Amino acid sequence: MKMVKSLILGSAAGLLAMGGAQAADLPVKAKAVEYVKVCSLYGAGFWYIPGTDTCMKIGGYLRVDATFNGSIYDQPAWSGDLGQGNRYRDYFAARSRMALTVDTRTATEYGVVRTFAQGDFQFSTLGANTVNPNSVNGSLPVAGSNLLDTPGGGYVAVEFVFIQFAGFTFGKSASAFATPWHGYPGNNSSFLLGGHDTVTGVNNIQYTAQFGNGVSGTIGLDDPTVFHRTSVYNLAPSGILFGGVNGIGLSGNAYAGVHAPDIVGNIRIDQAWGLFQISGSAHEVNGSYNILNSTAAPAGAVGLPGAAPIAGSELSGHPDSKWGGAVMAALQIKNIPTGPGDDIKLDATYAIGHTKQVISTSSASPSFAMFGSSSAFGAYQSLGLGVTTDGVWTPGGDIQLTRAWGIRGAFNHNWDPYWSTSLFGSYAQVRYNGDAADLASAKGAYCAAFAASHPGQGLTYTCDPSYNVSQLGAVTRWTPVKNLTFSAEVMWFHLDTKFAGTSLFGPGAPKPVAVYEFKDQDTVSLNVRVQRNF
């Protein structure tokens, strides 16, 4: 027993001695751990970057949706294979996207310095109205961004990337012309026409002044290269005869290079009752040369596109540039008696030579070629056409600016904290001046070029490139838990073409050369979506 007790005491003494030795090796004071601290200056979700006075917030969303009888994000079947309704048409299209946003803010003696960026990691099923497999054959010169939508592919799209300092914004952000809701007064669709939409950003520099009581003003310079232009048509690119218009009424884009930025601005009133805004823009419309390539190479073939320069183009001269522009009025009414959180959003726009401000999507402005059935004698099918331009000209003449106006809006209603519904719609007109008999007018020059490939003008059909478009839709959303929303949207689109009668021509493969009736067209699409915000 004494032996056991001696062993225990001896072991305890040895352990204490070792512990003392190790304790002697520790520093007198351990270094403090630097934890991430919450930053409450700019709202929920911000935290201090360790070792700095800069606050950061990381957020975004993950969205999966599918469109039936249309393209991604509820684009109507208004052109390409979908507009033709041919065998290459996909009955549905889907996209999966994760948007990642990084927002940093630092308080300075000049105010808050902010940086913001959003990148979209996405994969879709082609994602355009042209879905012919030949359009994504990498060996063809027509291959484009659709190549990114391949197995294991996908791509990153850059939306907003900007710096804000002392009232200035530098980088890719919303135009000063835009409303806070852009092209989304209450819809899922990225294709509600009738007004401006720079929700994906445009390179700009702008300054915002706050006048107090919710009144502000912004003026800016936008780079028009990729977003604010539609197209300019040279309707006699050979310099001798009218022509250069294909079977569905399109011609090569003959815009010259950018010489000046778009000048944009707004005056806005933000109050508890809602918002009122007046916006304006000025846009230069210019043409390249009077003599250009007049016959585009067929799809998949090697050759010059329509309106490409040829030897001698520089000697042929060019039309004088013109300035166009647009004005917009927007209104949001909150706290309406139908329920808490309900509102109405409306905007109306008028444009001369700046058609993108009316026929606008979050991407390019569409032209329309929609096919349907026909009851006309001898007709193979019917066709609705709508050509979107900023202007047209013929060699030796002035650029004739295109006119357009549109209105759109939505009523948004919350049934309860989990269910909501929005009713939305739009209407827009695009007009070409003059008449078909006046070759100096936009309508006359276009119709003369159109007649070169569409026989029977004035006999079997009347020509007018002007058109109207209408849209009407509804979307219902269910949010079972915070930041997770399921939605379904149905949308009707109507094209009111101003062509009338029949003509024998070829609208493009796989359609045959046949008699087609010019006629109004309709299409309906369905979009379903699930989105998780974080």
pLDDT tops 70 at residue 16: no
Q: How far apart are CA 48 and CA 58, in angstroms?
A: 12
- What pLDDT does residue 24 have? 45
| Interval 357-415: pLDDT, tens | 999 998 889 999 999 999 999 999 999 999 999 999 999 999 999 999 999 999 999 99
- What pLDDT does residue 133 have? 64
CA nearest neighbour of 424 among 267, 195, 269 = 195
Least reliable range by pLDDT among 110-119, 251-260, 295-304, 453-462: 295-304
59: CB partners within 8 A, 6+ apart: 45, 100, 101, 103, 533, 534
- What pLDDT does residue 36 have? 83
Q: Is residue 10 part of a domain?
A: no
- What pLDDT does residue 27 have? 55
Query: How does 491-500 read in b/e, with b if 16+ C-beta sit within 10 Å?
Result: bebbbbbbbe
**3-state DSSP of 381-394:** EEEEEECCCCEEEC
Range of the domain at 482: 36-533
Q: Is residue 12 part of a domain?
A: no
Q: Is residue 196 part of a domain?
A: yes
pLDDT tops 90 at residue 429: yes
Of the chain, the percentage scoring pLDDT greater than 70 comes to 88
Provide DSSP, 342-367: -EEEEEEEEEES-GGGTS--SSPPP-
pTM for the full model? Answer: 0.90
Q: How confident is the model at residue 135 (pLDDT cuts 50, 70, 90)?
A: low
- What pLDDT does residue 154 have? 83
Q: How far is CA 468 from CA 85, 137, 388, 413, 493, in A?
A: 21, 35, 11, 29, 11
| Interval 181-214: pLDDT, tens | 999 999 999 999 999 999 999 999 999 999 999 9
- What pLDDT does residue 142 have? 43
Q: How far apart are CA 110 and CA 133, in angstroms?
A: 55
**Residue 437, domain CATH:** 2.40.160.10
Q: How confident is the model at residue 300 (pLDDT cuts 50, 70, 90)?
A: low
**Cβ distance 189 to 197 under 8 Å?**
no
| The two structure tokens encoding residue 265 | 């601005």
| The two structure tokens encoding residue 503 | 């003509």
Provide DSSP, 149-160: SSTT--EEEEEE
Helix (H) or strand (E) holding 30, with range, is: none
Q: Is residue 470 part of a domain?
A: yes
Mean pLDDT of 353-357: 98
| Interval 431-490: pLDDT, tens | 999 999 999 999 999 999 999 999 999 999 999 999 999 999 999 999 999 999 999 999
Measured in degrees and rounded to the nearest 5, phi and psi for residue 147 equal: -60, -25
Identify how many contiguous H helices and E strands the chain contains and give both numbers.
3, 27
Measured in degrees and rounded to the nearest 5, phi and psi for residue 514 equal: -160, 180
Q: How confident is the model at residue 299 (pLDDT cuts 50, 70, 90)?
A: low
Q: Is residue 227 part of a domain?
A: yes
| Interval 238-282: pLDDT, tens | 999 999 999 999 999 999 999 999 999 999 999 999 999 999 999
**3-state DSSP of 42-100:** CCCCCEECCCCCEEEEEEEEEEEEEEECEECCCEECCCHHHHHCCCCCCCEEEEEEEEE
Judged on CB neighbours under 10 Å (0-12, 13-18, 19+), 479 is middle
| Interval 90-107: pLDDT, tens | 899 999 999 999 999 999
**Cβ distance 529 to 65 under 8 Å?**
yes
> Which residues, in sequence order, are bridge partners of residue 76?
70
Q: How far apart are CA 262 and CA 228, in angstroms?
A: 8
- What pLDDT does residue 128 have? 62
- What pLDDT does residue 34 have? 62
- What pLDDT does residue 35 have? 74
pLDDT tops 50 at residue 68: yes
| The two structure tokens encoding residue 287 | 């043409």
Higher per-residue confidence, 130 vs 259: 259
**3-state DSSP of 319-345:** CCCEEEEEEEEEEEEECCCCCCCCEEE
- What pLDDT does residue 23 have? 44
Provide DSSP, 384-452: EEE---SEEE-TTS--EE-EEEEEEEEEEEESSSSEEEEEEEEEEEEE--S-TT-TTSHHHHHHHHHHT
pLDDT tops 90 at residue 50: yes
Q: Is residue 24 part of a domain?
A: no
CA nearest neighbour of 386 among 446, 343, 336 = 446
Query: Radius of gyration over alpha carbons of the chain, in Å?
Result: 30
Q: Is residue 16 part of a domain?
A: no
Q: How confident is the model at residue 155 (pLDDT cuts 50, 70, 90)?
A: confident
**Cβ distance 183 to 362 under 8 Å?**
yes
Strand order from edge to edge, sheet including 232-234:
232-234, 391-393, 400-401
Question: What letter does residue 3 receive in the DSSP assignment?
Answer: H
Q: How far apart are CA 41 and CA 506, in angstroms?
A: 64
211: CB partners within 8 A, 6+ apart: 217
pLDDT tops 90 at residue 148: no
Q: Is residue 161 part of a domain?
A: yes
- What pLDDT does residue 327 have? 98
Tell me the one-letter amino acid at 523.
Answer: T
Q: How far apart are CA 191 and CA 327, in angstroms?
A: 20
> Which residues, in sequence order, are bridge partners of residue 95?
65, 124
227: CB partners within 8 A, 6+ apart: 198, 202, 356
Q: How far apart are CA 164 and CA 208, in angstroms?
A: 10
- Total domains in the chain come to 1
